[in-house]
Amino acid sequence: MLYRNGQRLPLDGEGLALRLSVNPRARRISIRIDARAGEAVAVAPSERRLGDAVAFARTRNDWILERLSARPAGLPLEPGGTVALSGHPVRLVAGGGAGAARLSTDATGPVIISGGEGEAFSRRVQNLLKREARRALVARTEVHLRTLGQKPVRVSIADGRSRWGSCSPHNRTIRYSWRVVMAPPAVLDYLAAHEVAHLVHANHSPAYWAVVHDLIGDPSPHRRWLRDHGAGLHAVGR
């Protein structure tokens, strides 16, 4: 059977799917969980190896179903709730009217006060988090660019389905997920270093990881944090 990039195959379990993905930079076949989409992704270095990726995924079927069933439920952004900002909980407060969300403090500590109701409230809070993400990620990107003697890049903030960031060295653009602003600052800094290092090596070779290490030290704790807590970040606002 011929498989194609982006194809979805049903898994045992209602509504669950396996998505096929080709990544020319991948060094091996792998399976990852896309918590936001609620599906597993079989990654192969080329389209002709997608069949091998499907076969490998079938041997990991129980693991895939276990991981998908354990993913966090949606965490709405609503008054009275909390959201993490730079790794710390911030309380959400209704401000009345239709004003934009803003950071403030009260007797209990940091708060985000926002106008709007329902989806409008959630959207305003997300817009604030995106602004904070851009500010922090641009700042750390510029630091790492200077360290490596690299020219400026164009930074964009998005809501990636599964990737925390991506770098296109040929047109000097870096794309980040705004959700990393909820992680501790060291994790956000790791993400910036990870993407900037791709301007030097457009792969994940030992030479690439050496550049990352030179920028921030051992990246393992930060990679582990994203692996352990990433699904929770993707659940926010759902």
Q: What is the pLDDT of residues 126-137, one digit of tens each?
A: 999 999 999 999
Q: How far apart are CA 174 and CA 172, in angstroms?
A: 7
Burial of residue 220, with CB atoms counted within 10 A of its CB: 0-12 exposed, 13-18 middle, 19 or more buried: exposed
pLDDT, position 36? 65
* pLDDT-derived band at 238, boundaries 50, 70, 90: confident
| Residue-wise pLDDT tens digits, 139-151 | 999 999 999 999 9
Backbone angles phi, psi at 102, to 5 degrees: -145, 150
Amino acid at 233: L
With 80 as the cut, is the pLDDT of residue 69 above it? Answer: no
Whole-prediction pTM: 0.75
Mean pLDDT of all residues belonging to the chain: 91
pLDDT value of residue 13 = 57
Q: Which of the two residues, 227 and 208, has the higher pLDDT score?
A: 208
